[in-house]
């Protein structure tokens, strides 16, 4: 087991790819903390993982609130004694309707909404765990960005900009934290079938990305979790 007795906080782990990360990490022996604003779904995922023999605990967490994130990290340390991995996965994309269209037509409050979760949330969660990891002189921070950052695709100016900010923040933190033995990395998945219920529109959008790939099929969470496991191990 590559993560035996490691303590991993995964934000946004109640749905989609986050849930797949949580399942794989528990299979590898980690104590997984499911931090998600969807309290009921997070509790259901934790119960399923416990029922299958894993170690999991869910706490409702709003990554936009530093007080909430601090409370999460403090309770995690009280329960498990340490924090070895932070996987910053929470984002507005699958579970909420995301606006698409030209930059000049993007509503300001929509821009702010996405930035608060998809970029500021990564900053706040990292800010909360870094002092703990520095004290331990070890830790892994894994940030989830997006392949749209490289291509400008997807017709989502706010989403793509936020994910580009995640890449930049990762690079800064990696340089700042190496002296404490803290690894900081970023993953940039492409279009992935992470929805729990799939409409014809979603399926068509996912299928549209296959022509540009070496493997001409829709990407699934199972294609991604191995990379996260490697970076956490």
Structure tokens at 81: 């004694």
Contacts of 76 by beta carbon, 8 Å cutoff, 6+ apart: 7, 9, 33, 83
Distance CA 96, CA 38 (A): 12
Q: Which residues are paired to 35 by β-bridges? A: 11, 59
What's residue 4's pLDDT? Answer: 98
**Higher pLDDT pick, 40 / 218:** 40
Predicted local confidence at residue 215, as pLDDT: 77
What are the tens digits of pLDDT across the range 78-105? Answer: 999 999 999 999 999 866 678 899 999 9
Q: What is the pTM of this model?
A: 0.90
Q: Tell me, yes or no, if 159 is annotated catalytic.
A: yes
Name the residue with higher pLDDT: 192 or 67: 67
Mean pLDDT of 45-69: 98
Instruction: Kindly tell me if the per-residue pLDDT of 116 is higher than 60.
Output: yes
Please state, rounded to an integer, the average pLDDT across all residues of the chain. 92
* Residues 107-135, mean pLDDT to the nearest whole number: 98
What is the per-residue pLDDT across 193-219, written as a single tens digit (0 to 9) for each? 665 555 555 556 556 666 776 777 777
Cα–Cα distance for residue pair 191/94, rounded to 1 Å? 11
Q: Which one is catalytic: 61, 147, 159, 164?
A: 159
pLDDT tier for residue 126 given thresholds of 50, 70 and 90:
very high
- CA-nearest of 129, 140, 130 to 233 is 140
Check residues 29 and 217 and name the one with the higher pLDDT.
29
pLDDT for 44 beyond 80: yes
Q: Tokens 């949330």 identify what position?
A: 121
Looking at the chain, the whole-number percentage of residues with pLDDT higher than 70 is 90
Number of residues in the chain: 233
Nearest-angstrom CA–CA distance, 222 and 215: 14
Interval 130-153 mean pLDDT? 95
The closest alpha carbon to 84, from 76, 75, 92, belongs to 76
């Amino acid at each position: 087991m590559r993560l035996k007795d490691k303590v991993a906080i995964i934000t946004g782990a109640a749905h989609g790819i986050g849930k797949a990360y949580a399942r794989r990490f528990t299979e590898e022996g980690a104590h997984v903390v499911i931090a998600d604003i969807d309290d009921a779904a997070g509790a259901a995922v934790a119960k399923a993982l416990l029922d299958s023999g894993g170690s999991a605990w869910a706490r409702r967490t709003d990554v936009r609130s530093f007080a909430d994130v601090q409370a999460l990290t403090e309770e995690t340390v009280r329960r498990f004694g340490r924090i070895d991995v932070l996987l910053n996965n929470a984002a507005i994309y699958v579970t909420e309707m995301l606006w698409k269209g030209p930059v000049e037509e993007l509503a300001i409050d929509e821009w702010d909404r996405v930035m608060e979760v998809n970029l500021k949330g990564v900053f706040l969660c990292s800010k909360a765990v870094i002092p703990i990891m520095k004290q331990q002189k070890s830790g892994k921070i894994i940030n989830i960005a997006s392949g749209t950052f490289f291509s400008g695709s997807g017709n989502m100016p706010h989403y793509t900009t936020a994910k580009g900010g995640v890449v930049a923040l990762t690079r800064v933190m990696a340089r700042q934290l190496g002296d404490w033995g803290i690894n900081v990395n970023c993953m940039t998945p492409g279009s992935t079938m992470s929805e729990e219920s799939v409409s014809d529109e979603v399926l068509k959008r996912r299928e549209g990305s296959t022509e540009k790939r070496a493997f001409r099929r829709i990407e699934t969470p199972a294609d991604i979790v191995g990379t996260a496991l490697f970076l956490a191990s």
